[in-house]
């Protein structure tokens, strides 16, 4: 897919495939186009070129709510809770609408919501107003709400940003738990520990293009990737050090 | 907890008050029936009473209806009086020109109003905030003007500047009939609001209000829902207009599309509490009482010192303006908050409201 | 009129429904000075500007600032309430009779060959251009003007660099009111005024800003010209076109909003 803003291609002919049940990480320096990519997939942006295919059909140009109905769920980098509702009600919105598997009446939706809150660890805070939640909890709620839509694919946008190490571990467990229920997960992240810890495959974006793809450990050692993140001087230094040290 | 007790007490006071007012509203009219009169029961509801009560019920319908699009969905429409007028003229035209009976013409008022709302809503609801508010105001004003002035081959289609006259509805006790009819419309509006707030539809609307983009990616068809809410509000408002046209027997641009109604219905919903079931109704009753009191049309009236009779309506408007400013600054969440048991009315509350929104 | 309205809207994010009332106050000040002291109406315009500036400053600082961070609905209602108060005070003081300001040269005009351009509208145009230029100057060259621009761009950042928001907001509103006052003085010379005559002006100001585009003074000027053209065109439609003038204006506005929300010249916000 390709997406342009004015003269700049934020996403430039990015192409990749996702198989069911995978956990894929999308990484890259700031401004690489990761969130734009997510916005294209979830229908928030319209593509300027290319296509997105889902289970054989094209979803490019579909309204966001229809993409959600197909089973593609997402979270927002800066969380967007429904401020005047409780935690439980927030999660229930996902179950009330969402994919074909969800979309139930209020009673059923609240039951589903309870289940999802249990999954992400917010069950104890279900009746609190959203304003009473800490940032990590709000991120959990954001994930819970998206999971409540019973998606086939879940797009997570920098869920780990701003979390300390303990909270990251907890969030990692949460992601694994969600994945274990059969959801395919696409993670945008800056925290490498997360990518290495949970992703089977990583895609590196830079300036709107795919720089590298493959297993996280391999990709992160790729010189081009290091160069993209840290700059050419550091990459050269690293290469020099490696040559000196030998294969280790 | 002490606060809980006092809140419960306020809630009980409110419920008792509401019950008393409700019973009075329902039963007092019965004293005007011939049967009651011949039994020498004192007349609690005379023509003035019926007039004021019917107008109040009318505003309950409008405020509650506005609440659906403005309070629950968060799209503050400023031109809803257009639907009132459309409803009034629909019923009016069917009765006056097509000679249909009133009760057959009435259902068309909400239908036509809703259809119009769906038609203008599709482009309009794509706008946000300021733009939507003033665009809807513009539509409201424009519709009134058009209806008054459209000519077909030299003849005013809708009665033009001289207005539309309807035949008087033949019934024994007109005051009672139309009051109960309007009251039924009010009850229907409140019932619809109650239903919406606990339905999937209502949750979707609130989600749209709180964060439209999040709602969309969660699977809410925001366009369809917004238009539906708008049309629903229009239908109820149109119903009030339809009843009004036959009740008043005469409609023209001034009484079917009065611009001040726009602000009044919003103020009522605001005063009572937007987004709640009974808030707009409470606000409507309160504000209507105040307006009538200031205007001197209530049986009990107080002379404002230093003000002559001619200046009285002007001073009343000034007081209304001051009240509006005061409510917006100090009680933005409406008074129903106090009766719902969540907060106590105190200086601290006023100060807190102020701090939340001021610079 | 549009420029003052647009300034308040662009910087404070307030749609000022009291605009019409402020305009009419300006008209009445001019009328009072003209009829009681026989001062040439064009010379009263600076008085209008100063008086309305002070009024506007006080209104903003005292009242409107209290709800500046509240959702849009509240500012709408608040300014509507303020308008109610202003207009009715005018009614109390001046009564509802129509007043007009007719200086001795109001019927005469500049003769260019066979065309006569009446003096009053001609000078009014000059005043409007002068005022817009003055406003642009204030916004781009003075300290307070730059502060206002900064706030319009990023309110929090502006506070961080030490700009007194309350004062700056009040100045902005005062400037907007001053423009309204001058507009009122000019209008008093063109048509008869009564306290409630201000209602259509607010809506017209809105249409002007939308047509031209929010963001720059020049854009609003273009909007004003465009609106004037549309109005004149609407008046000249055979039949009862003049009655539909309002409806046409609003129809145009809605059309612009839906198809090109940034207006003819504005930038998308």
First to last CA, chain B: 34
Q: B329 and C68: CB-CB below 8 Å?
A: no
Subunit partners of chain B (3 or more CB pairs within 8 A):
A, C
Q: Which of B133, B145, B358 has the CB atom closest to C72's CB atom?
A: B133
Pairing, β A53-54 against β A23-27? unpaired
Mean of pLDDT over chain B: 85
β-bridge pairing B164-165 and B250-251: antiparallel
| Cα B37 from Cα B32, distance rounded (Å) | 6
Q: Long-range contacts for A172-176 (Cβ within 8 Å, ≥24 apart)?
A: A172/A197, A172/A198, A174/A119, A174/A120, A174/A121, A174/A140, A174/A143, A175/A23
Q: Is the CB of B204 inside 8 Å of chain A's CB atoms?
A: yes
Beta-carbon contacts below 8 Å between B and C = 134
Subunit contact C244:B130, Cβ cutoff 8 A: no
Q: What pLDDT is attached to residue B307? A: 66
Instruction: Find the CB nearest B135 among C73, C92, C257.
Output: C257
Burial A215-230 (b: 16+ CB within 10 A, else e): ebeebbebeebbbbbe
Between A and B, how many CB-CB pairs are < 8 A?
Answer: 81
B200:A109 CB<8 A: yes
pLDDT band, very low/low/confident/very high, at A195 (cuts 50, 70, 90): confident
Provide φ and ψ at B220, rounded to 5°.
-85, 125
Whether B357 contacts chain C with CB within 8 A: yes
Chains B and A touch (3+ CB pairs under 8 A): yes
What is the reported pLDDT for B1?
46
B interface mutation test: which of A44, A82, A98, A106 has the most B CBs within 10 A?
A82
Taking the Cβ of residue B228 and every Cβ of chain A, the question of whether any pair is shorter than 8 Å is answered with: no
* Spatial separation of the C-alpha atoms in residues A113 and A93, rounded to whole Å: 8
Chains C and B touch (3+ CB pairs under 8 A): yes
Is B210 in Cβ contact with A85 (below 8 Å)?
Answer: yes
Instruction: Give the DSSP letter string of B85-126.
Output: HHHHHHHHHHHHTS---HHHHTTHHHHHHHHHHHHHHHHHTT
- Which of C65, C69, C81 is opposite residue B325, by nearest beta carbon? C81
When pLDDT is averaged across residues B132-147 and rounded to a whole number, the result is 84
C-alpha closest to that of B123 among A161, A99, C255: C255
Nearest to A45 by CA among C261, B213, B223: B213
Give dist(CA C238, CA C222) in Å, integer. 27
On chain B, the residues whose CB falls within 8 A of the CB of C254 are 123-124, 135, 138-139
For residues C51-70, average pLDDT: 89
Please tell me if residue A56 touches chain B, with a CB cutoff of 8 Å.
no
How many Cβ atoms sit within 10 Å of the Cβ of residue A100? 12
Domain limits, chain A: 1-71+152-214, 84-148
State the residue for tokens 């993409």: A67
Interface contact A25, partner B, CB < 8 A: no
Q: What is the pLDDT of residue C269?
A: 42
So what's the pLDDT on residue B281? 92
Read off the pTM: 0.86
Nearest CB to B134; choose among C70, C206, C246: C206
| In the predicted structure, residue B149 carries a pLDDT above the cut 70 | yes
Q: Are strands A153-157 and A72-74 parallel, antiparallel or unpaired?
A: parallel
Q: Is there a contact between B114 and B238 (Cβ–Cβ < 8 Å)?
A: yes
- Tokens encoding B16: 């008792």
pLDDT band at B273 (very low <50, low <70, confident <90, very high): confident
Mean predicted confidence (pLDDT) in A107-132? 91
Spatial separation of the C-alpha atoms in residues B211 and B197, rounded to whole Å:
17
Residues in chain A closer than 8 A to B206 (CB atoms):
82, 84-85
Instruction: Please report the pLDDT score of residue B144 as a whole number.
Output: 84
Distance of CA C150 to the CA centre of its chain: 22
| Statement: residue A52 has pLDDT above 80 | yes
Q: In chain B, where does DSSP find H-type helix?
A: 2-27, 34-38, 47-66, 81-96, 102-105, 108-124, 129-149, 174-197, 200-210, 212-217, 222-248, 253-256, 259-272, 279-295, 312-330, 336-339, 347-357
Which residues touch B76 (CB under 8 Å, ≥6 apart)? B70, B132, B133, B266, C72, C73, C76
Mean per-residue pLDDT for B102-126? 93
In tens, the pLDDT along B200-212 reads: 999 999 999 999 9
SS3 call for A219: helix
What lies within 8 Å, CB to CB, of C201 at 6+ separation is C1, C19, C20, C23, C24, C183, C187
**pLDDT for the residue B305:** 67
Rounded to the nearest angstrom, the minimum Cα separation between B214 and chain A is 6
Q: Check pLDDT > 90 for residue C253.
A: no
A144 touches B: beta carbon within 8 Å? no
- What is the rounded CA–CA span in Å between residue A56 and residue C111? 77
Fold of A1-71+152-214: Rossmann fold (3.40.50)
- The fraction of chain C above a pLDDT of 90, given in percent, is 19
Identify the band that residue A104 occupies on the pLDDT scale cut at 50, 70 and 90. Answer: confident
- Residue C247 and residue B146: Cβ atoms within 8 Å? yes
What pLDDT is attached to residue C114?
A: 81
* Residue B234, phi then psi, degrees to nearest 5: -65, -40
Question: Going by beta carbons, is chain A in contact with chain C, meaning 3 or more pairs sit under 8 Å apart?
Answer: no
Residue C229 and residue B124: Cα distance in Å, rounded?
A: 25
Phi, psi of B55 (to 5 degrees): -65, -40
Contacts of A44 in chain B (CB under 8 A): 213, 216-217
Q: How confident is the model at residue C263 (pLDDT cuts 50, 70, 90)?
A: low
* pLDDT score of B338 more than 70: no
Find the angle CA(C247)-CA(C249)-CA(C250) to the nearest 5 degrees.
65
Q: Count of H helices and E strands in chain C?
A: 11, 2
Cα nearest neighbour of B125 on chain C: C258
Alpha carbon of B268: minimum distance to chain C alpha carbons (Å): 11
Best mutation site among B126, B211, B218 for testing chain A: the one with the most A CBs within 10 Å?
A: B218
Q: What is the number of other CB atoms lying within 10 angstroms of the CB of residue A22?
A: 15
- Looking at chain C, which subunits does it touch, using at least 3 CB pairs closer than 8 Å as the criterion? B
Q: Which site among C10, C74, C84 would you substitute to test the B interface, given the most B Cβ atoms closer than 10 Å to its Cβ?
A: C84
DSSP letters for A18-49? --TT-EEEEE-STTSSHHHHHHHHTTSS--SB
CB C202 within 8 A of CB C15: no
In which element (H, E) is residue A210 found? strand A209-214
Distance (Å) from the alpha carbon of B287 to chain A's nearest alpha carbon: 27
pLDDT above 90 for B113: yes
B150-170, pLDDT tens digit by residue? 766 666 777 777 788 888 888
């Amino acid at each position: 897919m390709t997406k342009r803003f004015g003269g700049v291609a934020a996403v430039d002919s990015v192409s990749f495939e996702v198989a069911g049940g995978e956990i894929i990480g999308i990484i890259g320096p700031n401004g690489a186009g990761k969130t734009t990519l997510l916005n294209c997939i979830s229908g928030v942006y319209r593509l300027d070129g290319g296509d997105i295919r889902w289970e054989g059909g094209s979803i490019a140009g579909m309204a966001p709510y229809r993409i959600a109905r197909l089973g593609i769920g997402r979270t927002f980098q800066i969380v967007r809770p429904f401020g005047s509702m409780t935690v439980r009600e927030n999660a229930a919105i996902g179950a009330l609408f969402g994919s074909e598997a969800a979309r139930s009446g209020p009673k059923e939706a609240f039951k589903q919501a309870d289940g999802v809150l249990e999954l992400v660890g917010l069950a104890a805070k279900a009746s609190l107003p959203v304003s009473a939640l800490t940032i990590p909890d709000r991120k959990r709620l954001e994930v819970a709400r998206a999971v409540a839509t019973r998606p086939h694919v879940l797009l997570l946008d920098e869920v780990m940003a701003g979390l300390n190490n303990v909270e990251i571990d907890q969030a990692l467990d949460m992601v694994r738990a969600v994945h274990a229920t059969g959801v395919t997960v696409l993670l945008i992240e800056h925290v490498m520990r997360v990518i290495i810890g949970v992703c089977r495959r990583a895609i590196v974006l830079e300036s709107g293009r795919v720089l590298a793809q493959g297993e996280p450990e391999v990709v992160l050692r790729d010189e081009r990737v290091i160069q993209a993140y840290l700059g050419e001087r550091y990459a050269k230094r690293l290469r020099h050090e490696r040559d000196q040290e030998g294969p280790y | 907890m002490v606060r809980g007790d006092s809140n419960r007490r306020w809630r009980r006071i409110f419920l008792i008050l509401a019950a008393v007012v409700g019973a009075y509203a329902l039963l007092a009219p019965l004293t005007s029936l011939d049967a009651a009169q011949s039994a020498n029961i004192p007349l609690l509801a005379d023509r003035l009473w019926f007039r004021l009560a019917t107008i109040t019920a009318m505003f309950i319908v409008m405020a509650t209806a506005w609440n659906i699009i403005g309070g629950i969905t968060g799209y503050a429409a400023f031109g809803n009086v257009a639907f009132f007028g459309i409803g009034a003229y629909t019923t009016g035209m069917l009765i006056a020109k097509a000679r249909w009976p009133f009760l057959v013409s009435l259902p068309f008022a909400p239908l036509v109003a809703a259809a119009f709302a769906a038609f203008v809503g599709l482009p309009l609801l794509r706008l946000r905030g300021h733009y939507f508010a003033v665009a809807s105001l513009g539509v409201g004003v424009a519709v009134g003007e058009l209806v008054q002035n459209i000519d077909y081959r030299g003849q005013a289609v809708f009665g033009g500047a001289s207005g539309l006259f309807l035949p008087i509805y033949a019934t024994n006790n007109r005051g009672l009939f139309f009051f109960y009819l309007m009251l039924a419309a009010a009850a229907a509006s409140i019932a619809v609001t109650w239903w919406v707030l606990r339905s999937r539809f209502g949750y979707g609307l609130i989600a749209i209000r709180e964060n439209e983009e999040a709602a969309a990616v969660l699977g809410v068809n925001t366009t369809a829902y917004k238009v539906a809410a708008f049309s629903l509000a229009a239908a109820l408002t149109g119903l009030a207009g339809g009843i009004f046209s036959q009740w008043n027997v005469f409609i023209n641009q001034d009484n079917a599309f009065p611009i001040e109604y726009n602000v009044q219905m919003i103020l009522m919903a605001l005063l009572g509490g937007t987004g709640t079931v009974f808030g707009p109704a409470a606000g409507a009753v309160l504000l209507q009482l105040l307006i009538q009191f200031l205007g001197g049309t209530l049986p009990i009236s107080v002379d404002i010192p230093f003000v002559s009779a001619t200046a009285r309506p002007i001073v009343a408007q000034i007081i209304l303006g001051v009240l509006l400013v005061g409510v917006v600054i100090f009680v933005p969440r409406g008074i129903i908050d106090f009766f719902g048991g969540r907060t106590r009315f105190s200086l601290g509350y006023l100060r807190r409201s102020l701090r939340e929104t001021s610079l | 009129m549009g420029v003052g309205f647009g300034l308040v809207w662009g910087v404070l994010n307030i749609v000022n429904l009291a605009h019409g009332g402020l305009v009419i106050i300006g008209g009445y000040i001019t009328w009072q000075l003209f009829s009681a002291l026989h001062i040439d109406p064009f010379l009263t315009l600076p008085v209008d500007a100063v008086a309305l500036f002070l009024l506007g400053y006080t209104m903003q600082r005292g009242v409107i600032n209290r709800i500046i961070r509240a959702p849009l609905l509240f500012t709408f209602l608040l300014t509507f309430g303020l308008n109610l108060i202003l207009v009715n005070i005018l009614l109390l003081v001046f009564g509802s009779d129509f007043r007009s300001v007719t200086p001795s040269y109001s019927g005469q005009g500049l003769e260019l060959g066979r065309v006569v351009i009446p003096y009053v509208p001609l000078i009014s145009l000059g005043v409007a251009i002068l005022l817009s230029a003055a406003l642009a100057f204030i916004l781009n060259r003075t300290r307070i003007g730059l502060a206002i621009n900064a706030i319009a761009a990023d309110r929090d950042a502006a506070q961080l660099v030490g700009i007194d928001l309350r004062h700056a907001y009040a100045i902005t509103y005062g400037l907007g009111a001053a423009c309204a006052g001058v507009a009122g003085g000019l209008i008093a010379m063109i048509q008869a005024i009564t306290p409630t005559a201000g209602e259509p002006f607010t809506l017209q100001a809105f249409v002007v800003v939308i047509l031209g585009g929010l963001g720059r003074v020049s854009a609003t000027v273009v909007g004003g010209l465009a609106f004037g053209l549309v109005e004149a065109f609407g008046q000249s439609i055979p039949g009862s076109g003049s009655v539909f003038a309002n409806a046409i204006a609003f129809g145009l506005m809605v059309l612009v909003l839906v198809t090109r929300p940034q207006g003819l010249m504005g930038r998308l916000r």
